[in-house]
């Protein structure tokens, strides 16, 4: 897997003024590395992730995925990309409320055509690794925040995506729970040799990553 972004720019219109968020941004990700992105609130970290996932289109610059220039992708290609190659972890867990834990975890596999029983088995296995075996048949509203986030992590990893995107994965959790969740996340990422881009405010999280980038004035700076 290789991902590179060159000369990327993104701005938003706010009334009459043009808000320049990202400008001439460069990013290269190697297979298997875990990169942290830090930066002040409002610096554009989430915007960067949106561009990566194809939720936003850049104003300028180019992004390539395994040598494939994404500018030429249509919606279908993007959706294929998200389905097979990306895994998401959000700050607010975002589980589907009417699916049980195991069903939530199995969903990405099902969407790529894996049979239901197989998907559930894979989900159960992953949940067991995350210490949630008892919670497999619970619905999201019956689980605590930490548990939900662990389910979300399992869902982001179950289909072995090429790249995991995480936006403040412990932002909504108290310190201790956050710690546990983080431990699990890093254990899994390392074990599966996952490439990951983690946006965070936490120095602790950053410290555990292979590389830390700071987003400032629209650009990523190594630190």
Partner 1 sequence: MAVLKLIATSVRRQKPLYILWIFSLAAAVSGLLVVDVFRHSLTGTLTSQGRKILTADASLSARRMLSDDEVDALKKQMPGAETARLTEMFAMVSAQNESRLTLMRFISDEYPLAGDLTLQGEAAPVHGRDLGEKPTAWAAGDLFSLLDLKPGASVKIGNQEFKLERALDKDSSQTFRMGNMAPRIYVHRKYMTATGLVQYGSTLTDNFFAATARPPETLKADLEKSFKDPGLQITVPADLEQGSLRLLSRLLDYLGLTGLVTLSLGWIGVYYLGRRWLALEAKSSGVLKCLGLSSKELQNLLLLKLAAILSCGVLLGGAIAWLLAHGLLPFVRDSLPAGFQLIWSWKNTALLLIVGPMAGLILLRSAIHDLAFEKPLDLFQERTQSAKVNILGVAVLLASVAALFMLLTFMQARSWLVTGTFIGALSASVVVVAAIAFGFIRVIAKVRRPGWGWQAHLFSAQWVRRAGTSLLLITVSALAGLLSQLLPHLEKTLVGELNSPAGVERPALFMVDIQDEQLAPLKDFLSEKGLEVAKDAPFVRARIISVNDQEFERGQAAGAMSTREEENDARFRNRGVNLSYRKELSDSESIVEGKEWKDLTVDPPEIAVEAAYAKRLNLKMNDSLLFDVQGIEIRAKIAAIRKINWESFNPNFFIQFPDGVLNDAPKTWIMAVKKHPSFTPPQMQTLITKKFPNVTSINVSEALDSATQLIGQLSSGMKMASRLSLGLGIFVFLMILLFQLISARRDWRQLLVLGLTARQVWLLQVLNYGLLCLFGTLIGAVLSTAVAWGLFKFAFSTPVTFDFKGMAQVWLITWVAAIGGLAWLGWRETRSVRGGLSSESFRD
Ligand X SMILES: Nc1ncnc2c1ncn2[C@@H]1O[C@H](COP(=O)(O)OP(=O)(O)OP(=O)(O)O)[C@@H](O)[C@H]1O
Q: Which is nearer to partner 1, 47 or 187 (CB)?
A: 47
The contact mask relative to ligand X for 42-61 (x = CB under 6 A, - = no) is: xxxxxx--------------
Residue 141 touches partner 1, criterion: CB under 8 A: yes
Give the nearest distance from C-beta 67 to partner 1 in angstroms. 21
Q: Which is nearer to partner 1, 116 or 131 (CB)?
A: 116
Backbone angles phi, psi at 195, to 5 degrees: -85, 135
Footprint (CB under 8 A) of partner 1, residues 96-135? 96-99, 103, 107-108, 110-111, 115-117, 119-120
Contact 169, 131 (CB under 8 A): no
Q: Greatest CA span in the chain, whole angstroms?
A: 54
CA 147 to chain centre: 18
Q: Which is nearer to partner 1, 47 or 202 (CB)?
A: 47
Residue 46 touches Mg ion, criterion: CB under 5 A: yes
Contact 198, 34 (CB under 8 A): yes
CA 168 to chain centre: 9
Which of 36, 38, 63, 82 touches partner 1 by CB under 8 A?
82
Give the whole-angstrom CA distance, residue 68 versus residue 189.
25
Give the nearest distance from C-beta 46 to ligand X in angstroms. 3
Residue 94 touches partner 1, criterion: CB under 8 A: yes
Q: Which is nearer to partner 1, 80 or 174 (CB)?
A: 80
Report the DSSP pairing between strands 211-216 and 34-38. parallel
Give the whole-angstrom CA distance, residue 50 versus residue 55.
5
Give the nearest distance from C-beta 220 to partner 1 in angstroms. 17
Which of 8, 21, 39, 46 touches partner 1 by CB under 8 A?
46
- From 3, 149, 34, select the one nearest 88 (Cα to Cα): 149
Stretch that binds Mg ion, among 43-51, 68-76, 98-106, 148-156 (CB under 5 A): 43-51
Backbone angles phi, psi at 114, to 5 degrees: -75, 145
Q: Which residues bind ligand X (CB under 6 A)?
A: 12, 21, 39, 41-47
């Amino acid at each position: 897997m290789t991902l590179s972004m060159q000369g990327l720019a993104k701005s938003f219109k706010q009334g009459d003024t043009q808000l320049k968020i990202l400008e001439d941004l460069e990013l290269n990700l190697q297979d298997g590395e875990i990169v942290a992105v830090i930066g002040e609130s409002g610096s554009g970290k989430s915007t960067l992730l949106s561009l990566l996932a194809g939720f936003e289109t850049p104003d300028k610059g180019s992004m390539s995925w395994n040598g494939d220039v994404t500018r030429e992708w249509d919606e279908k290609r993007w959706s294929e990309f998200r389905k097979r190659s990306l895994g998401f972890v959000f700050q607010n867990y975002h589980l589907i409320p009417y699916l049980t834990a195991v069903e939530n975890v199995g969903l990405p596999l099902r969407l790529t055509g894996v049979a239901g029983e197989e998907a559930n088995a894979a989900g159960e296995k992953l949940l067991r690794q995350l210490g949630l075996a008892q919670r497999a048949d619970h619905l999201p509203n019956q689980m605590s925040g930490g548990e939900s986030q662990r389910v979300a992590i399992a869902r982001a990893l179950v289909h072995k995506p090429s790249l995991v995107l995480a936006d403040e994965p412990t932002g909504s959790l108290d310190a201790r729970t956050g710690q546990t969740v983080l431990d699990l996340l890093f254990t899994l990422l390392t074990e599966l040799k996952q490439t990951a881009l983690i946006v965070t405010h936490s120095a602790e999280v950053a410290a555990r990553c292979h590389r830390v980038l700071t987003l400032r004035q629209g650009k990523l700076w190594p630190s």
